[in-house]
A and B are shown apart, each in its own frame.
Chain A
Amino acid sequence: MFRSSQINAINILLLPLLLIISISIGAAAFHWSDVFSNSDTRSLLIYSRLPRSLAIILTGATLAVAGMVLQIVLRNRFLEPNMVGATQSAALGILLVSIWFPQATQLAKMSCASIVALLGMTLFLFLFRRLPPHRQMMIPLIGIIYGSIIEALVNFIGVETNTLQLLAVWFAGDFSAVLAGRYELLWLTGLMALVIYFLADRLTIAGLGQNISTSLGINYAQMMWISLITVAMITAIVVVTVGQIPFIGLVVPNIVSRLAGDRLRQNLPSVALMGANALLVCDIIGRIIDPPYEIPVSLIFGIVGTMIFLYLLFRKPTVHAT
């Protein structure tokens, strides 16, 4: 067993290293020595490379945190925003608002996406309640199918309104279009992650169930709603700005809890840092595999993440102290 502080130390060392690599590579030539002498290089850094790397860090960190929150409050190791219909509902929300109000601002689209994502997750919870909690594998399975039903609905609307091209952007996340001025909403997800950090202990208690949390003086329904709303907002903002990136929210919290146990508050920084690092690595791989073209990071994470997920499904069950 590692301590969270050890994992954090490794991740904190890795992060600047990966950040430097992430900024250095890309289609246009970039040399660190020119940053102060050449104005083109400087604007490349400020308007393209730095925003992109920051967006990756924010997305990776907050999606991992969102996954962890879902896993703790719904008490299932195999859940993430993708597997409770949040991502797909968020896409449905933006699609509807783009069709009805094409002039809407990014913020308005994001709010609409969050609301629909929240509705989608609430509907999933109704299905969830019907399942006995000991059927651990049944819940993510139902979630995946539920998500694919919403996705089919979105595709149907997309085909009928000739907006399939927009959908491709939301259903396959990558950071190639991130520039200064087009990613700043992501800072809101960072804010959400902070909210979760401050509520961490209460969320953990809410995860123990309605009876226990009530007797410990925690407002169960309130905590449930707060966690759902934060997850919905993180998912919606990510879908609006970069698209869907599956498996981070599932894989990263699982790895951290394997290494350091299940302590939401202590593990949150580790989860966030590891999420950021994992996404940076995958984005770097996607950019160096076939230059000057780039492979979307969601694809790289789809391969890496599914492999880790399959491993998690089949490993020997370990005993966790909860």
Chain B
Amino acid sequence: MPSPRSGARFLGVLGILLIIASILFMTYGVKGSWDFVLQLRGKKLLMLLTVAYAVGVSTLLFQTLTHNPILTPGLLGYDSLYLLLQTLTLFIFGAVGYASIGAFTKFTIEAPLMMAASLLLFRTLTRNSNGDLARLILTGTIFGVMFRSFNSLLQRLIDPTLFTVAQTSYFAQFTSVNVSMLMIGITVMLISTIWIWRMRYQLDVMMLGRNASIALGINYPRLSRNILLWIALLVSVSTALVGPVSFFGLLICALVNACTPSMTHRLRIPAAFLMAALILVCGQLIFEHVLGMQGVLSVVIEFCGGLVFLWLALKRQS
């Protein structure tokens, strides 16, 4: 049983590693104008941290909600749902109208849609799976494929010449930064931190299961609905910033669980954020600045995350 002190030490180590990685990320191989490079990389670093928070924390909350360590919102089609809603608003407003409204307005249209749709999706998934985990994930995965197909159908119907441009949103991209979206993402991150931090003990209780939490005085339906809404919002942020990442959250939570199995949310939440940030910053540092490869980080993460999923799933079976 790890003591709170060892948990705090673990967080401290992660934090120090993240700071070192961030400094290296900002300064490694800088030639020429420091002002320009620092500004460019600073934006990118902020984006990586925001995405790390959104993906890490949303997956952690999702696993708490579903009492299951092999689930992630991405695996159940949440981020393809967001992309579909994005294209749907684009379809309704038309390409010109969509381009003229700002990122903030877009997000205020898309995020509530996403929240409503994800409540519906989650209800469909859990109601029909009857406690069969494999069926739940399979259904979610198939929903994801369906959302993606609808999404690309709509994209083609909008404007065939812009189709290839639109298609780039299929792959997660950690290389380009949308500044106004980043501001929104940081705002969501800060507000959600306050809520999640206030709920940290209730989340611990929730881990005990539905009946135990209700017996201990938790308003279970309300808490799970709120968790789901925050997950939807965080998935929207990460998908809007970098695109869909199905296995990244899973990888992070598996690592956090492996490092310190019995931590409370007070420690798990910061640990998930720090772990995700460390992987993203180090990965981006190595791939972009050391190896000179652009945009393969997401593919490598998907690859590793997929392997982790297989390992977890097969381990549970035997």
A interface residues (Cβ-Cβ under 8 A, vs B): 78, 127, 130-132, 135, 137-138, 140-142, 144-146, 148-149, 152-153, 155-156, 159-160, 246, 289-290, 293, 295, 299-300, 302-303, 306-307, 309-310, 313-314
CB<8 Å pairs between A and B, sample of 26: A127-B314, A130-B314, A137-B134, A138-B134, A141-B141, A142-B310, A142-B314, A144-B138, A145-B309, A145-B310, A146-B306, A146-B310, A148-B306, A149-B307, A152-B300, A152-B306, A153-B303, A155-B299, A159-B296, A160-B293, A290-B157, A290-B160, A293-B156, A300-B153, A302-B149, A306-B149
Interface pair A303/B296, CB less than 8 Å apart: no
New contact pairs (11) apart from A144-B138, A145-B306, A159-B299, CB-CB < 8 Å: A130-B317, A137-B138, A138-B134, A149-B303, A152-B303, A155-B171, A155-B299, A302-B145, A303-B146, A306-B142, A313-B142
A5 to chain B: closest CB distance in Å?
Answer: 33
Instruction: Report B-chain residues with C-beta under 8 Å of the C-beta of A160.
Output: 293, 296
Q: How many A-B residue pairs have CB under 8 A?
A: 101
Instruction: Report A-chain residues with C-beta under 8 Å of the C-beta of B295.
Output: 159
Main SS of chain A's interface residues?
helix
A81 to chain B: closest CB distance in Å?
Answer: 15
Interface pair B138/A78, CB less than 8 Å apart: yes
A310 to B204, CA, bound (A): 34
A207 to B310, CA, bound (A): 25
A290 to B154, CA, bound (A): 11
Interface pair B139/A313, CB less than 8 Å apart: yes
Per-residue 0/1 for B298-313: is the Cβ within 8 Å of any A Cβ (1 yes, 0 no)? 0110110011011001
Given the interface pairs A138-B134, A152-B302, A156-B296, the reply to whether A310 lies near B142 with Cβ below 8 Å is yes
B interface residues (Cβ-Cβ under 8 A, vs A): 128, 132, 134-135, 137-139, 141-143, 145-146, 148-150, 152-153, 156-157, 160, 171, 246, 293, 295-296, 299-300, 302-303, 306-307, 309-310, 313-314, 317-318
Q: Please, which residue of chain A has its CB at the minimum distance from the CB of B294?
A: A159
Given the interface pairs A152-B303, A314-B128, the reply to whether A138 lies near B313 with Cβ below 8 Å is yes
